[in-house]
């Protein structure tokens, strides 16, 4: 009997990506995309959402990370996550400044540029620290999700991330709605046990 292999450590993937391994970079991207999405989405000012969205920032941010991966130096556990989220957060800041400058140049109010501080949370929003803490909780949940079998991962993804209805999930999985709900909540309870 062959035991399942544990996922490669992030630093091993980073070293492989630094050596030009595109597969390693793909795994890094897959591993961190949702975490970074949560961080970025929470920091896009409401006034900017019509001009660009989270995917715009992620695409340019991951491209920049790919270009800069050779400069990354390991500084211990969670260092890569911090490096990546900081780098992509800087891309967000650049995009916001660009769009504010574009608005100012087209005759809009310059004071908006001065009043926009990405280090502060907009009124009614969580602080950046709270957003990062929430993102770290999500990272733990994602790590637990990756340990589920493929069928349970698909079910959880459809409900939590794709926001599909129970009817749509049941149809896609060719099971009854009651079965879909039961499987989801049983799997969810196992996840909660692993991350609390």
CA distance 38 to 40: 6
Identify the pLDDT of residue 178. 92
Cα–Cα nearest to 11, from 86, 68, 89, 73: 73
CA distance 196 to 111: 45
Q: Is residue 170 part of a domain?
A: no
Q: Is residue 150 part of a domain?
A: no
Tally of structural domains, the chain: 1
Identify the pLDDT of residue 111. 47
Q: Is residue 182 part of a domain?
A: no
60: domain range? 10-124
The structure tokens 């992030």 sit at 10
For residue range 80-118, list pLDDT tens digits in order: 888 988 888 888 888 888 877 766 665 544 444 444 444
DSSP classification of residue 2: P
Q: Is residue 106 part of a domain?
A: yes
CA distance 63 to 61: 5
Which of 72-76, 104-108, 131-135, 147-151 shows the lowest per-residue confidence on average (mean pLDDT)? 104-108
- Predicted TM-score (pTM) of the model is 0.51
Q: Is residue 84 part of a domain?
A: yes
How many Cα atoms within 13 Å fall on the side-chain side of residue 80? 22
CA distance 106 to 112: 13
For residue range 38-68, list pLDDT tens digits in order: 777 777 777 777 777 778 888 888 888 998 9
For residue range 145-190, list pLDDT tens digits in order: 777 787 888 888 788 777 788 899 999 889 999 999 899 888 887 7
Q: What is the mean pLDDT of the chain?
A: 76
Identify the pLDDT of residue 110. 46
């Amino acid at each position: 009997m062959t035991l399942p292999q544990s996922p490669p450590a992030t630093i091993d993937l980073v070293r492989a990506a630094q050596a030009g391994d595109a597969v390693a970079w793909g795994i890094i991207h897959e591993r961190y995309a949702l975490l970074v999405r949560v961080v970025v989405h929470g920091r896009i000012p409401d006034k900017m959402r019509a001009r660009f969205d989270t995917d715009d920032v992620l695409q340019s941010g991951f491209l920049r990370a790919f270009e800069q991966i050779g400069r990354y130096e390991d500084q211990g556990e969670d260092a890569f996550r911090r490096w990546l989220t900081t780098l992509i957060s800087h891309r967000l800041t650049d995009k916001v400044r660009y769009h504010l400058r574009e608005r100012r140049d087209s005759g809009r109010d310059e004071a908006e540029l001065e009043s926009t501080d990405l280090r502060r949370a907009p009124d009614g929003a969580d602080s950046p620290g709270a957003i990062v803490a929430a993102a770290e909780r999500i990272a733990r949940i994602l790590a637990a999700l990756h340990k589920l079998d493929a069928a349970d991962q698909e079910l959880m993804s459809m409900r939590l991330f794709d926001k599909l209805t129970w009817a749509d999930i049941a149809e896609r999985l060719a099971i009854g709605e009651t079965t879909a709900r039961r499987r989801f909540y049983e799997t969810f309870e196992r996840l909660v046990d692993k991350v609390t």
